[in-house]
Amino acid sequence: MPEGIFCNKKPIETEDALTALLGDTSGSQYYKEMKSLDVDSKLLWTTIQNTCKSRIRTWLEICAHCGMCADSCFLYLVNDRDPEQVPAYKIQSTLGEIIKRKGNVDNKFMHMAMETAWAKCTCCNRCGMYCPHGIDMGIMFGYLRGLLYQQGFVPWELKIGAGMHRVYRAQMDVSEEEFVETFQWMVEEYEEEYPGLAVPVDVENADIMYTVNAREVKHYPEDLAEAAILFHAAGENWTVPSRGWEQTSLAMFAGDWAACKMQVENVYAAMERLKPKRMIGTECGHAHRATVVEGPYWAGRKDGKPPAESIHYIEWLAEALREGKLKIDPEKRIKVPVTLQDSCNYVRNHGLRETGREILSYIVEPGYYREMSPNREHNYCCGGGGGFNGIGLFRPQRNKALITKRDQILATGAKLVIAPCHNCWDAIRDLEEEFEIGIKWSFLKPLVISMLEIPGHMKPEE
Amino acid sequence: MYEFITGFMFWLALGVCLTGVIVRTILYFRGLQWNLDRVAYKAYPVEGFKGAIRSIYKWILPFGTHGWRKQPFMTVIFFSFHLGAVVVPLFLLAHNLFLEEKLGFSFFSINGGVADFLTWLVVASTVLIILRRIALPEVRIMTNWYDYLIILISVAPFVTGLMARYQVGDYSFWLLVHIISGEILLFAIPFTKLSHVFLFFASRAQLGMDYGIKRGGLKGTKMAW
C-alpha cells in the first residue's frame, strides 16, 4: 500500500487533518500504515542532488572511519559503548547509504533510518567538536530528518508538531486570542501583589518584544506572569505581539523546512510590524536556535540575522542584573548546592557559555555553585533534545539516555539544577521521576523573583 | 622502463594530482551555499576567516584540542604518521635531487638520519593504526576493505623506499617499485579518501567559519576546540 490515511508524504495543512491525526491515539494506526508506506526513490534522489552539496558530500567522503567521534557521543557512552552508536557509523549507515544507493532504499531501511535519526541522535552537535576533519554529524542528521520527513517517515508526534506550526503558527493549538487572553489573565492574577503590572500588547517601537513557548500558554501560564513581573521590576518598555509570539519550532525537530520558514517568518513579521529595539525569547533552547540562529536562513536573510537584534532570555537577565535594573536581596540567595544545565542549542550552538554563570554569580551564595563535568560547550545533551522528549515510540531509548545527565548531576552533589531551557527542564524533571535522585529543578524566572528586592514603584499601596 | 616511469608517468601523475587538487578545492568552495549550509559566509568574511584559521591551527597542533587530548594514543600515532608522511616525501635529499633534475628547483633537504627515523616512524605508526582498527570495536565496525586499500596506497612508498634505502635484494627493482607506488599515491590523492590531504583544510575551514560566524563567533565566543 502506498500512502496511508494518517501516514503519508503530505504535511498537515488543516485543523481537521490535525484533529484526525491527534485522534489516532499514540499513532497506532499511523505506525501501522508506515510499515507499508512506499519510498519515492526518485524524489529522494532528486532532493539529494538539489540540496546535498559539497559540505555534506565531502564530510561523507573524507570520514576516515577513525572512531574518534565515538567517545564524544553520550548515546554511545550510555548504551554500553555499542559500536552501532558511533556517530560516524550512524550517519554512514543511513545518509551515507542512501546517497551511495542513489535513493534506492526500501521501507525497512527507512524505518531503521528513522529510528537512527530520532532515537540515536539528538542533534546536540557535540561530535562535530571532536572530529579532526570537522565533520558535524548533528548537522547531517538534521539534513537526514528533512529527507525522512519528506518521505513520510517521521515520528507521529513530530508530524503533529510540524502540522501545528503550519495551522496555528505555534507548536500547540493556541490561537492568537488565547495567547493574549491567557497573558492578560495571568497578569491580573498578580496585579494586586505587583501594582502597575500589565501586559502591553502590540506596542510599536518598544525596547523589547517578548516571545514565548506555546507550552507556557497552555501548561505553565505562571511563566508568562513571571516574565511580566521581571520586565516590570526592571522598568523595561516591553511588549508582546498578538501575532508572531511563538518562538519555538517543532518543525525543526521534524525536518519540515517549509513549516520552519512559515513559523519564523511569522515572528519576523511581528518584528517588522512593531519595530522593537530588541526581541527577547523565553528560557528555551531550541526556540532560540530556531528563531535566532537558524531562522534567518530559512527566511532567506543573507546577513544571517533576524530583522531586529534578538537575544536569549539569559542575556537579558544577565544584563539586567549587571546594570542593577534588577536587584537581588543577598539574604535570599540560593544556599543549597546548585548546578547549571548548559543548553546545547544556545551554548554549543550560539556561544552563550558564560552568560548563565554570570547570572548565577548574582543569585547563588558563594560556595554553593557546582560545575557539571564536562560543561559549557562540551556539556552533554540533557538526554531529551532534538525532539527525543516528545516521541512516545522511542520512550525507552529516551529514558536510557537520561542516565548521562543523571550521573553528571549526581557527581556534582547538587540538590538544585537550574535549566534555562524547556527541553532540558523537561528531561531533568523526567529523570527525577524515573530515577528519584532527590533533586529539584527550575527555570531562572521564579528563582530570581523569589529573591528580588522589590523596587518602590512595585510595592503594593498600604 | 625507468625512463618512462620517471619521465612521462612522473609528469602525468604530478599533473593529475595538482590539477585534481586545484579543481576539487575550487569545486568545494563553490559548492558551499550560505542558504543550504545556513552560514552567512559572504556577510562576515573577516569573522569567517578568523574562525577558519583557528579551526585549522588548533587541530594541526598535537594535543591542541579537547579531541586530541581525550585520545592520547591516537594522537601520538596520528601525528607520528603524518609528520613522516608530509616531511619525508618533500624534504628527502634524493627527492630533491630528482626534483632539481626534473623541475630545476628543490626544497631544502633534511639530514639522512632524520629521514630514516621519520620513515620508520611512518611504518611503525601504520602498524599501530591497523592494530587499533582491528582492536577497537568502535573503529572495527566502520572499517572496510577500502580503508585498508587507502592505508596500503599511503604506506607503500615508504616501505619500498626503505627496501631501496637498505638495498634489500635488487636495488633497481625496489627503486622502480618505489617510484611507481609514489605515482599511484599521486594519482589517488584527488579521487579517493586521500583527498583529505587538501579537503581536510577545506572542511575544517568550513566548520571554523560556521562557528566563527553563526555559532557564537559574532558574539565574541571562540570555540574551545
As to burial, measured by CB atoms within 10 angstroms (0-12 exposed, 13-18 middle, 19+ buried), residue A403 is: middle
- What distance separates the 2 farthest-apart alpha carbons in chain B? 63
The DSSP code for A284 is: -
Nearest CB neighbour to B207, from listed A53, A136, A293:
A136
**What is the distance between the alpha carbons of residues A236 and A228, in angstroms, rounded to a whole number?**
10
CB contact under 8 A, B193 and A62: yes
Q: How confident is the model at residue A357 (pLDDT cuts 50, 70, 90)?
A: very high
**What is the distance between the alpha carbons of residues A265 and A269, in angstroms, rounded to a whole number?**
6
From B129's Cα to the closest Cα of chain A, the distance in A is: 9
Query: Contact, A134 vs A373, CB < 8 A?
Result: no
Question: Which residues from B are below 8 Å from A131, CB to CB?
Answer: 67
Cell of A338: 546548585
Residues in chain B: 225
Cell of A276: 522593537
pLDDT digit string (tens) for chain B, length 225 residues: 889 999 999 999 999 999 999 999 999 999 999 999 999 999 999 999 999 999 999 999 999 999 999 999 999 999 999 999 999 999 999 999 999 999 898 999 999 999 999 999 999 999 999 999 999 999 999 999 999 999 999 999 999 999 999 999 999 999 999 999 999 999 999 999 999 999 999 999 999 999 999 999 999 999 989
pLDDT, tens digit, for every residue of A105-154?
A: 999 999 999 999 999 999 999 999 999 999 999 999 999 999 999 999 99
**Residue type for position A444:** L
**What is the distance between the alpha carbons of residues B82 and B18, in angstroms, rounded to a whole number?**
20
From A449's Cα to the closest Cα of chain B, the distance in A is: 28
CB contact under 8 A, A135 and B213: no
Please identify which residue in the block is written with the cell numbers 548548559: A342
**Percentage of chain B modeled with pLDDT above 90:** 96
For residue A308, which phi and psi values (nearest 5 degrees)? -120, 150
From A17's Cα to the closest Cα of chain B, the distance in A is: 30
Nearest CB neighbour to A134, from listed B55, B144, B224:
B55
Query: Contact, A312 vs A349, CB < 8 A?
Result: no
Query: Contact, A224 vs A186, CB < 8 A?
Result: yes
From B31's Cα to the closest Cα of chain A, the distance in A is: 5
Question: Which residues from B are below 8 Å from A304, CB to CB?
Answer: 34, 38-40, 43-44, 213-214
Which residues 6+ apart lie within 8 Å of A388 measured at CB?
A118, A119, A122, A394, A397, A398, A401
**Best B23, B65, B70, B141 residue to mutate vs chain A (most A CBs within 10 Å):** B141
Q: How confident is the model at residue A457 (pLDDT cuts 50, 70, 90)?
A: confident
Q: How confident is the model at residue A1 (pLDDT cuts 50, 70, 90)?
A: low
Q: How confident is the model at residue A417 (pLDDT cuts 50, 70, 90)?
A: very high
Q: Three-state SS string across chain B, please?
A: CHHHHHCHHHHHHHHHHHHHHHHHHHHHHHHCCHHHHCCCCCCCHHHHHHHHHHHHHHHHCCCCCHHHHHCHHHHHHHHHHHHHHHHHHHHCHHHHHHHHHHHCCCCCCCCHHHHHHHHHHHHHHHHHHHHHHHHCHHHHCCCCHHHHHHHHHHHHHHHHHHHHHCCCCCHHHHHHHHHHHHHHHHHHHHHCHHHHHHHHHHHHHHHHHHHHHHCCHHHCCCCCC
Query: Contact, A158 vs A436, CB < 8 A?
Result: no
Inform me whether the C-beta atom of residue A275 falls under 8 Å from chain B C-beta atoms.
no
Question: Which residues from A are below 8 Å from B206, CB to CB?
Answer: 55, 134
Query: Contact, B159 vs B121, CB < 8 A?
Result: no
Inform me whether the C-beta atom of residue A302 falls under 8 Å from chain B C-beta atoms.
yes
Query: Contact, A137 vs A89, CB < 8 A?
Result: no
Nearest CB neighbour to A303, from listed B43, B68, B215:
B43
Cell of A443: 527555570
From A388's Cα to the closest Cα of chain B, the distance in A is: 22
Question: Which residues from B are below 8 Å from A300, CB to CB?
Answer: 35
Question: Which residues from B are below 8 Å from A70, CB to CB?
Answer: 138
Which residues 6+ apart lie within 8 Å of B42 measured at CB?
A302, B34
Which residues 6+ apart lie within 8 Å of A75 measured at CB?
A85, A120, A121, A122, A401
Q: Residue B9 to residues A347, B97, B159, B178, B186: CA-CA distances in angstroms?
A: 53, 18, 21, 13, 11
Q: How confident is the model at residue A409 (pLDDT cuts 50, 70, 90)?
A: very high
Label residue A399 left, alpha or beta by phi (over 0 means left) and psi (-120 to 50 means alpha): alpha
Domains and CATH numbers, chain A: 39-154 (no CATH), 169-322 (3.40.50), 330-450 (3.40.50)
Q: Residue B87 to residues B58, B98, B108: CA-CA distances in angstroms?
A: 20, 16, 11
> Which of A376, A352, A408, A382 is closest to A123 using CA atoms?
A382
Question: Which residues from A are below 8 Å from B33, CB to CB?
Answer: 53
> Which of B154, B155, B135, B156 is closest to B193 using CA atoms?
B154
As to burial, measured by CB atoms within 10 angstroms (0-12 exposed, 13-18 middle, 19+ buried), residue A26 is: exposed
Which residues 6+ apart lie within 8 Å of B45 measured at CB?
none
Domain limits, chain B:
2-219
**Percentage of chain A modeled with pLDDT above 90:** 98
What pLDDT is recorded for position A89? 98
pLDDT at A188 over 80: yes
pLDDT, tens digit, for every residue of B52-87?
A: 999 999 999 999 999 999 999 999 999 999 999 999
From A82's Cα to the closest Cα of chain B, the distance in A is: 8
3-state SS assignment for residue A279:
strand
CB contact under 8 A, A55 and B37: yes
**What is the distance between the alpha carbons of residues A16 and A51, in angstroms, rounded to a whole number?**
32
**What is the distance between the alpha carbons of residues B92 and B98, in angstroms, rounded to a whole number?**
10
pLDDT at A455 over 90: no
CB contact under 8 A, B215 and A58: no
Distance, C-alpha A99 to centroid of its chain: 29
Inform me whether the C-beta atom of residue A49 falls under 8 Å from chain B C-beta atoms.
no
Residues in chain A: 462
CB contact under 8 A, B215 and A67: no
Inform me whether the C-beta atom of residue A373 falls under 8 Å from chain B C-beta atoms.
no
Q: What is the ipTM of this complex?
A: 0.96
Please identify which residue in the block is written with the cell numbers 543523571: A406
Q: Residue B125 to residues A76, A133, A327, B222: CA-CA distances in angstroms?
A: 27, 19, 60, 33
**What is the distance between the alpha carbons of residues A393 and A217, in angstroms, rounded to a whole number?**
26
The DSSP code for A196 is: T
What pLDDT is recorded for position A336? 98
Query: Contact, A243 vs A176, CB < 8 A?
Result: yes
What pLDDT is recorded for position A458? 80
CB contact under 8 A, B203 and A71: no
pLDDT, tens digit, for every residue of A331-344?
A: 999 999 999 999 99
**Best A58, A310, A314 residue to mutate vs chain B (most B CBs within 10 Å):** A58
What's the average model confidence in pLDDT over A32-61?
A: 97
The DSSP code for A366 is: T
Query: Contact, B187 vs B32, CB < 8 A?
Result: no
Q: Which CATH class is domain B2-219?
A: mainly alpha
Cell of B149: 586499500
What pLDDT is recorded for position B45? 97
Question: Which residues from A are below 8 Å from B147, CB to CB?
Answer: 64-65
What's the average model confidence in pLDDT over A379-395?
A: 97
From A304's Cα to the closest Cα of chain B, the distance in A is: 6
**What is the distance between the alpha carbons of residues A328 and A226, in angstroms, rounded to a whole number?**
16
**CA angle (A343 as vertex; A340, A347 as ends), nearest 5:** 100
User: CB-hemisphere CA count at 13 Å for B160?
Assistant: 21
Question: Which residues from B are below 8 Å from A64, CB to CB?
Answer: 147, 193, 196
**Residue type for position A309:** E
3-state SS assignment for residue A396:
helix
**What is the distance between the alpha carbons of residues B195 and B199, in angstroms, rounded to a whole number?**
6
**What is the distance between the alpha carbons of residues A220 and A314, in angstroms, rounded to a whole number?**
19
> Which of A139, A115, A131, A134 is closest to A72 using CA atoms?
A131
- What distance separates the 2 farthest-apart alpha carbons in chain A? 76
* β-strands A369-370, A416-418 pairing: unpaired
What pLDDT is recorded for position A419? 98
